[in-house]
Amino acid sequence: MPNNKPTELPCVVLAGFDAFGGESLNPSGLAVQALGGQVIAGHRIASLLLPTVFDAALPRLLAALERSRPVLVIAVGLAQGRGAIAIERIAINLQDARIPDNAGTQPYDTAVVPGAPAAYFSSLPVKAVWQALLQAGLPADISHSAGTFVCNHVFFGLMHALANKRKHWLRHTRGGFIHLPALPEQAAVGQFGMPLDEQVRGLRVAVLAALQHPQDALLVGGATH
Ligand code: PCA
């Protein structure tokens, strides 16, 4: 029996996905599993592998939040074709799948949560995470679209749950989404991909930066750049 007893340390949940779309690997699932059980800045990492299935992924993530009661949640997915670690800024209330998910479901222009707002911003300090990744020598971008497939679905569902704070212990939980590039062995023609150890290092840097920055400094006091 796995020991799921919460430790004294505050928790960070990292969720990645299984392989989809004919791929045999998904670096997001592999990278979060590599960090599972580690401690970053006094926070225990609980890792979770989500199925790339519209109907199953979000309930799985929300159940893990209930179990672990994290202060921070970062869901992570593969974005084939991107050359950099992409910190997603906006989750949209739309699912429009170009390919079927792993259960054969392919929604076409439907809402993630009918009646919910059109979009939510990430509550990660996206600029601080981006800067930290660049300073660590890793290619990084801020992205304004997580697509309209299972990753955006999970990102939107997560931000909707955090925005509604139906559970009192979600009150101080921050969350967001990061897309990872392909691994070198699965990169598209003309692209290099990013080795798994670099992806793991990137996630570690991202978690640390998110823990160290409650919000982006430039936004404090309403200042703009
Ligand atoms: N990437 C897909 C779903 C699972 C994953 O790793 C996406 O970007 O929607």
Q: What pLDDT score does 219 carry?
A: 53
Residue 210 inside a domain? The answer is yes
Q: How many angstroms separate the CA atoms of 202 and 85, rounded?
A: 8
Its domain, for residue 110, covers 11-224
Residue 2 inside a domain? The answer is no
pLDDT average, residue stretch 86-94:
98
Q: What pLDDT score does 189 carry?
A: 81
65 lines ligand 1 (CB under 6 A): no
Residue 3 inside a domain? The answer is no
* Catalytic positions: 88, 151, 179
Give the number of domains in the chain: 1
17 lines ligand 1 (CB under 6 A): yes
Residue 24 inside a domain? The answer is yes
Q: What is the DSSP letter of 161?
A: H
- pLDDT, one tens digit per residue, over 25-76 is 999 999 999 999 999 999 999 999 999 999 999 999 999 999 999 999 999 9
DSSP string, 102-153: TTS----SB-SSTTS-SEEE--S-HHHHHHHHHHTT--EEEES---SSHHHH
Q: Using the structure block, give the residue that is written with the tokens 């992205």.
A: 143
- pLDDT, one tens digit per residue, over 148-177 is 999 999 999 999 999 998 788 888 899 999
Q: What is the pTM of this model?
A: 0.93
Q: The domain that contains 56 carries what CATH number?
A: 3.40.630.20
Residue 111 inside a domain? The answer is yes
Residue owning the nearest CA to atom 9 of ligand 1: 151
Residue 1 inside a domain? The answer is no
177 lines ligand 1 (CB under 6 A): no
